Copies of this chain bind each other. A is one copy, B any other.
Amino acid sequence: MDALAKQFSTLGLSVKPIAEVKHEAATTPATWKSSLESAQGVPSNFELLKTLVFKFKQAGPKSAPADGSVAPVALVLVARESTDTSLASTALAKKLGLKDMRLAGADLLQDVFGLDKDSLSPFALSPSSFPKTITVLDSNLGSTSTTNDAPLAVRASSSSASVIVSASDIVSYLRALEASATGVKVTEVDFVQLKGESASADPGKAPASKEKQKDKSLKEEAKIEGAKQIAIGVKKEVDFATWYTNVLLKADMLDYYSVSGCYILKPWSYNIWEAIQEWFNFRIKLMGVENSYFPMFVSQKVLEREKKHLEGFSPEVAWVTRAGNSDLEEPIAIRPTSETAMYPYYAKWIKSHRDLPLKLNQWNSVVRWEFKNPQPFLRTREFLWQEGHTAHLTKAEADTEVREILELYKQVYEDLLAVPVIPGVKSEKEKFAGADYTTTVEGFVPTSGRGIQGATSHCLGQNFSKMFNIVVEDPDDNSEGQDKRKIYAYQNSWGLSTRAIGVMVMVHGDNQGLVLPPRVASLQAVLVPCGLTVNTSDAEKKRVLDECDRIAKTLVKEGIKAKADLRDRTPGWKFNDWEQKGVPLRLELGPGDMAKNQVIAVRRDNGVKAPVSLDGLPGSVHNLLNTIHKDMYERAKAAYDSHIVVCTKWEEVVPALDSKNVFVMPWCEEEACEDEVKERSGQSSEPQDARAPSAGAKSLCIPFDQSKWPAIEPGKTKCPQCGKDAKRWTMFGRSY
């Protein structure tokens, strides 16, 4: 186009665009991209360039023009579309000392550039407008970028015209502008690094405190600019519930279903469940637990046999009353849990101490027809779980197993899902109906500031065995016949559900979508061919694709879940696709990389990009995946830890909760006091999200590890709520 050539020549440059395209007006990246994909002459591996303009206030004297030059009125951000620039208005603003930075409105754009947002490009900057702006260049485009030489689509001062140029054309243009304006420089920013710094500096806190402002502009900011089609659409920190749903949908984990409260688990999430199953099965089988399957139906009589136990479930039981066109003689329940369905048979099977221990587990679905708002994975009417049910001769053996299973649950969360949990025991009020005691691993969702029960392992004692007559003769009693002492079996039950997947998504996901912990990812590393342009020969292209395929196969042979993405799409499209789906590691390979015998490894969890030699690649990838797991866990652990507020005065409790924390306090462990905690903390001013659970705090667990807090002095340390003697440090919080 002549206009472009003219602009370049003004700066002493020449440009020869790869292509010049007219298309339908495109107002989103997705429509722009698809317009270009169907246009003639556009190379298949092009990427979009985004040009965002922000307004701001200067925060301090640091950035004020001391030399009398024009104060900048706008910030222009030039970046690859695939670069996550969501931290521009927060971390970047902070870095540059700018305040209240937000996207510029149409007026400002018109004033400075004479263009609307869908017509903007770096070429809209002229020697006259450039000094009035702070220009930020994605370092992934700039001088240090070595990784991607795909051509870029740039708006040609119109929403319906584009030029395809090389990255170096853009950089040259900006450098020439720098040269034309004394002292005004382009700022190169590494957004990946920025994100990493931001996350490690103050995880979760900044958004939390920001949200409290309830600033309308922030609400708007929740919608990530232009991202509707290709990213998550809203920010995690701002509209968490919508973000969560969007992540699940965009990552292809789940779909909504025509029966309310039921969801389709697509392979991308079901795979995670399979990974958990495989891991857990192996370990419980070593403990002598065997898998089995009990029917989903429970007769009314059996279900209602244990009234007290049933009370908790009764309002949620689904009843089958009809088969074909016939009404059943009596309604039949679908199991909400299987204690009463299984234990009559335990009584039948356990006739002697030789039949103990009996250790059965089943992987099944249960139905609890909740009438509260459902939420995928966390609260659904049908869900998948495992339920273990064991019977033992001695209490000691049962107690030991309860803790062994809880340890496995902890490992599922921490070693597989990279989600930190705190093991402990439930209060009397919160324990399983019919249990002697309930142990639990408690997780935490920093974004909502709520605790979440991860999995529970109950010691049922002899409560059910006495009811169902699960009894044997004492093998140590030598008396004869009828006089022999009877021992009622000591029973445990324990369960872990698909809820774990929801917790994992909430804890690790970011504004690009899902972030998968490597050990449960069904795809751990994806090879993406890069750097192929229209000028690349077919032979060269084939060489790159074949090498991607070969590398993927090598990795698979070494036990890494890898594949090459050889789809006929641009690298940027693929990057975005796999980022949304949370694949832990992207391995980019272009002709340049092949020459250097390397791939570029890009971590999903923190965006860090580094070349990795092809020599010993499987070992390097193994190490990287382990590092990713460790880093994800440690970040989440730091977030959890920093959100546990120690309260020794009641006045500290509600502010702690309102700042999205849970809290620990030395507690009297009395049920009436727990009711008071809930009542008093529920009166706080936090506005309610329709999908949020109740606002009152309940006890989450009494952590086994009490050593983190000052020792409780009997008779001296008091419960901050009621003033009675405290027994143990107990964690309370709002929860799911």
Query: What is A's interface to B at a CB cutoff of 8 Å?
Result: 255, 257-259, 262-267, 270-271, 273-274, 290-299, 301-302, 314-326, 331-332, 334, 344-345, 348-349, 354, 360, 364-365, 367, 369, 371, 381-382, 384, 567
Q: How many Å lie between the Cα of A314 and that of B326 in the bound state?
A: 11
Query: Using Cβ atoms and an 8 Å threshold, which residues of chain B touch A262?
Result: 295, 297
Q: How many Å lie between the Cα of A334 and that of B384 in the bound state?
A: 16
A267 touching B360 by the CB < 8 A rule?
A: yes
Pairs across A and B, CB under 8 Å, 13 listed: A258-B299, A258-B302, A259-B298, A262-B295, A262-B297, A263-B295, A264-B293, A264-B294, A266-B292, A297-B382, A316-B323, A317-B323, A318-B322
Q: Say which residue of B257, B264, B265, B295 sits within 8 Å of A259 (CB atoms).
A: B295
Q: How many Å lie between the Cα of A273 and that of B293 in the bound state?
A: 10
Query: Using Cβ atoms and an 8 Å threshold, which residues of chain B touch A332?
Result: 259
B296 touching A274 by the CB < 8 A rule?
A: no
Name the prevailing secondary structure of the A interface residues: mixed
Q: How many Å lie between the Cα of A97 and that of B332 in the bound state?
A: 59
Q: How many Å lie between the Cα of A314 and that of B325 in the bound state?
A: 8
Q: How many Å lie between the Cα of A279 and that of B448 in the bound state?
A: 43
Q: How many Å lie between the Cα of A266 and that of B381 in the bound state?
A: 27
Q: Min CB distance, A220 to chain B, in Å?
A: 30
A264 touching B292 by the CB < 8 A rule?
A: yes
B317 touching A365 by the CB < 8 A rule?
A: no
B324 touching A321 by the CB < 8 A rule?
A: no
Q: Say which residue of B270, B291, B344 sits within 8 Å of A270 (CB atoms).
A: B291
Q: How many copies of this protein are present in the complex?
A: 2
Knowing A318-B323, A321-B319, A334-B320 are in contact, say whether A344-B258 is a contact too (CB < 8 A).
yes
Q: Name the CB-closest residue of B to A289.
A: B267
Q: Min CB distance, A302 to chain B, in Å?
A: 6
Q: Say which residue of B263, B271, B298 sits within 8 Å of A290 (CB atoms).
A: B271
A331 touching B324 by the CB < 8 A rule?
A: no
Knowing A332-B259, A382-B297 are in contact, say whether A292-B317 is a contact too (CB < 8 A).
no
Q: Min CB distance, A284 to chain B, in Å?
A: 12
Q: Say which residue of B316, B320, B345 sits within 8 Å of A318 (CB atoms).
A: B320
Query: Using Cβ atoms and an 8 Å threshold, which residues of chain B touch A323?
Result: 316-319, 369, 371
Q: How many Å lie between the Cα of A320 and that of B332 in the bound state?
A: 9
Q: Name the CB-closest residue of B to A265.
A: B293
User: What would 10 more interface pairs be, CB under 8 Å, given A255-B345, A264-B295?
Assistant: A255-B349, A259-B299, A264-B292, A266-B292, A267-B291, A267-B360, A295-B382, A296-B296, A318-B323, A319-B321
Q: How many Å lie between the Cα of A291 and that of B274 in the bound state?
A: 9
Q: How many Å lie between the Cα of A263 and that of B345 in the bound state?
A: 12
A317 touching B321 by the CB < 8 A rule?
A: no
Q: How many Å lie between the Cα of A360 and that of B269 in the bound state?
A: 13
Q: Name the CB-closest residue of B to A322.
A: B319
Q: How many Å lie between the Cα of A264 and that of B291 in the bound state?
A: 12
Query: Using Cβ atoms and an 8 Å threshold, which residues of chain B touch A334?
Result: 320, 334
Q: How many Å lie between the Cα of A369 and that of B354 in the bound state?
A: 38
Query: Using Cβ atoms and an 8 Å threshold, which residues of chain B touch A293?
Result: 264-265, 270, 273, 384
Q: How many Å lie between the Cα of A349 and that of B267 in the bound state?
A: 13
Q: How many Å lie between the Cα of A133 and that of B78 in the bound state?
A: 107
Q: How many Å lie between the Cα of A76 and that of B708 in the bound state?
A: 80
B292 touching A270 by the CB < 8 A rule?
A: yes
Q: Min CB distance, A380 to chain B, in Å?
A: 9
A319 touching B316 by the CB < 8 A rule?
A: no
Q: Name the CB-closest residue of B to A262.
A: B295
The 10 A-B pairs at the shortest CB distance, nearest first, are namely A267-B290, A323-B369, A262-B295, A315-B324, A265-B293, A319-B322, A259-B297, A321-B321, A318-B320, A270-B292
Q: Min CB distance, A388 to chain B, in Å?
A: 13
Q: How many Å lie between the Cα of A292 and that of B323 in the bound state?
A: 27
Q: Min CB distance, A412 to chain B, in Å?
A: 18
Name which of A297, A332, A382 has the most chain B CB atoms within 10 A of its CB: A297
Q: Min CB distance, A547 to chain B, in Å?
A: 23
Query: Using Cβ atoms and an 8 Å threshold, which residues of chain B touch A317?
Result: 323-324
Q: Name the CB-closest residue of B to A332.
A: B259
Q: How many Å lie between the Cα of A354 and that of B577 in the bound state?
A: 14
Knowing A299-B258, A318-B323 are in contact, say whether A345-B292 is a contact too (CB < 8 A).
no
Q: Min CB distance, A520 to chain B, in Å?
A: 14
Q: How many Å lie between the Cα of A133 and that of B229 in the bound state?
A: 93
Q: Min CB distance, A99 to chain B, in Å?
A: 44
Query: Using Cβ atoms and an 8 Å threshold, which residues of chain B touch A274?
Result: 291
Name which of A291, A302, A320 has the most chain B CB atoms within 10 A of its CB: A320
